Amino acid sequence: MSQLFELLFGQYSAYQSIDIALEVTAVVFGFLSVWYAKKNHIWVFPTGLISTSIFVYLLWKWALLGDMMINAYYFVMSIYGWYVWTRKTNDQATPISQTNAKEKRTSVIIFIITLVFVYVVYQSAGKWTTWTAYVDTFTTAIFFVGMWLMARRKIENWIFWIVGDIISVPLYFYKGLTFTSLQYLIFTIIAIYGFLAWKHVLTNSKATA
């Protein structure tokens, strides 16, 4: 048992207590944000703002640039999403919907631009020293698209979250962030249920249209 505990949490012996407490706090609010997203509830954004702001600080401190940029982007997009979700058209809040052709093209553009941008950042900072940098670049692009789609209340956002979360589970464990790795494992499960819940809402709305 002690060996398992050492494997999972031994890396935290080198961390400051305040950083461990901050990571746990960010994880808790991250859970809440994803849970509210599953419930299609506006609180997905304020809880997300708290989580991402903490992670931006921690990841900057730990020099995980790709991850830091993901969370900085989440922070900005949470503000944008909060606005979109509360915006009303004909007295109706923005509904769950599927992406149209233009939004699919925009998603591809966001993905490609993100890949190029993160590559340039890592290249400039001289961070292409490990295979995790390449995975970071790929997951950053996935999550950027997923967050943009969620902000616009598009059901396809869950597909991107599921793929990115699955990749992130072993990635963060390898980086020594066990709590964050466990967070992404649970995120994967919630994202699957979130997709099914949103699909149910979308199907019902089409049936009553």
Domain range holding 146? 16-88+100-208
Model pLDDT, residue 185: 93
Report if residue 1 sits inside a domain.
no
pLDDT above 60 (res 71): yes
CA-to-CA distance for 8 and 95, rounded, in angstroms?
Answer: 41
**What share of the chain has pLDDT > 70, as a percent?**
89
Residue 3 within any structural domain of the chain: no
**Which pTM was predicted?**
0.81
Within 10 Å of residue 21's Cβ, how many Cβ atoms? 12
Tell whether 132 is covered by a domain: yes
5 inside domain: no
In a domain, 94, yes or no: no
Is the pLDDT assigned to residue 79 strictly greater than 60?
A: yes
pLDDT digits (tens, 9 = 90+) for 85-128: 888 665 567 788 999 999 999 999 999 999 998 888 878 877 77
In a domain, 178, yes or no: yes
Nearest-angstrom CA–CA distance, 133 and 67: 10
Flag whether 106 is in a domain.
yes
Cβ distance 126 to 101 under 8 Å?
no
Inside any domain, residue 11: no
Q: How confident is the model at residue 142 (pLDDT cuts 50, 70, 90)?
A: very high
